[in-house]
Amino acid sequence: MSLDMNDNEVTLSFFKNEVKQFVKERNWKKYHTIKNLIQALQIEAAELSELFLFKELSVNEVLSNKELLENVSGEIADVFIYLLSLVNELDLDLTNSFVNKMKKNRQKYPTKEFNNGNYYKK
Ligand SMILES: [Mg+2]
């Protein structure tokens, strides 16, 4: 793993294998029950949310705040890592999950009905 890797060069299986290896090397698989992984994922999402608690920041304000942006990046990574652990534990193919869900979303929210910024839960 190298610090100059980026989204254009890496596959999902790379991330899945990195997380799997990290967990295995520390003998943490015993803690990776589905419940624990879902709760950890929620906690990391809450940590991301906490960074914005009682603040009304525009995108530009976030982008110009180096420390905040670094913290946001770290919490997003934590969410992703626990999501990957959950995917690994359930032996899911994340690409397949994504493609199936996007297909359903396109059917549920057709552009003919949702083409002017309207949103309502269906
Ligand atoms: Mg965190």
Distance, CA 10 to ligand 1 centroid (Å)? 23
Ligand 1 geometric centre to CA of 19 (Å):
15
pLDDT at residue 119 in the model: 77
Domains of the chain, residue spans: 12-93
- Is 68 exposed, middle or buried, given 0-12, 13-18 or 19+ CB atoms closer than 10 A? middle
Contact 46, 114 (CB under 8 A): no
Residues listed for the chain: 122
**pTM of the full structure:** 0.89
Mean pLDDT by 10 residues, the chain (122 residues): 82 95 96 97 98 97 98 98 98 96 95 84 75
> Of 3.30.70.141, 3.40.50.720, 1.10.1660.10, 1.10.287.1080, which CATH number belongs to 12-93?
1.10.287.1080
Task: Give the torsion through C-alpha atoms of 61, 64, 65, 67, to 10 deg.
Answer: 150
C-alpha 78 to ligand 1 mean position (Å): 5
- Residue 109 Cα to ligand 1 middle (Å): 33
pLDDT at 30: 95
